[in-house]
Structure 1
């Protein structure tokens, strides 16, 4: 691939990431005023779908260093959103599980996030939305080809 074109694509993706973070996924407090980053919401969403994960595996999935993941887990436990559970097969492994409060928090966050996004998207007409939908589909398709084993 042409190096100049690749650099242009990568620069564009970084800008896209920053725009999405700034305009769509900025932290927002829910109910109790806990303000959390999208990464933390993604951790809770992941735990909601898989039930439990070792802290170390969760950190790897999120590209978070072990000491940072421990700090995040401490904060989530402190807020009652997750709990730590020893692994029955390996005493060295500590799993984290989302609590009912954590599930409620994620559900509220998703509802709130969708409402905010709907409000942000009112500036687009039907043609803009069709173009954006096609662009998102293209990006999802292209990125699904990347293998990070």
Structure 2
């Protein structure tokens, strides 16, 4: 692949993410006035996806230092969204997991996001929807291939 094409790909990635956040997610899905910040939401999303995990594993997945996790987790614990408990095999390891309240909160958030995205995308002409569907399927395929190399 030539360098110009790679530069265009990188540029598009960098510019698409803020647009996606601004145009579809943040303003329209109720995240702007949410109780939890982006990092706290990501912690809960990781736990929903993977289940009980050591704090250090969640920190590694989110590229957050383990000491910085403490502040993030304290609010989530105080709000009853996650619980912290020692590992059964190694008491030096502290695990975290979503509570029922955390699961309920995330289910409601994800449902809100789905409904909002449907509402925002439904006015698009069918041809644009088709192009978007194909583009997103291609993007998922490429990102899956990239992530499998790690």
TM-score normalized by the length of structure 2: 0.86
The residue number in structure 1 matching 2:139 is 139
**Secondary structure, counterpart of 2:145 in structure 1:** coil
The residue number in structure 1 matching 2:103 is 103
1:42-81 equivalence runs, <5 A:
42-81=42-81
CA shift at 1:70, angstroms? 1.9
**For the Cα contact (< 8 Å) 1:86–1:93, is it kept in 2?**
yes
**Secondary structure, counterpart of 1:95 in structure 2:** strand
**For the Cα contact (< 8 Å) 1:28–1:35, is it kept in 2?**
no
- Relative to 1, partners in 2 of residues 1:69 and 1:25: Cα closer, same or farther, differing over 3 Å? farther
Q: Which protein, 1 or 2, shows the higher relative CO under an 8 Å CA cutoff with sep ≥ 6?
A: 2
The residue number in structure 1 matching 2:86 is 86
1:111-122 equivalence runs, <5 A:
111-122=111-122
**Secondary structure, counterpart of 2:25 in structure 1:** coil
**Secondary structure, counterpart of 1:123 in structure 2:** coil
**Secondary structure, counterpart of 1:108 in structure 2:** helix
CA shift digits 1:10-64 (9 cap, x unpaired): 11111111111222332725xxx52432x43343233123320011100111122
CA shift digits 1:91-140 (9 cap, x unpaired): 22110010011011011111111122122113312111111000001111
Q: CA RMSD in A?
A: 2.2
TM-score normalized by the length of structure 1: 0.86
Mean Cα deviation higher: 134-143 or 62-71 = 62-71
**Secondary structure, counterpart of 1:97 in structure 2:** strand
**For the Cα contact (< 8 Å) 2:85–2:95, is it kept in 1?**
yes
1:4-43 equivalence runs, <5 A:
4-26=4-26, 28=30, 34-37=35-38, 39-43=39-43
Question: What runs of 5+ residues in structure 2 fail to find an aligned partner?
Answer: none
- Relative to 1, partners in 2 of residues 1:127 and 1:106: Cα closer, same or farther, differing over 3 Å? same
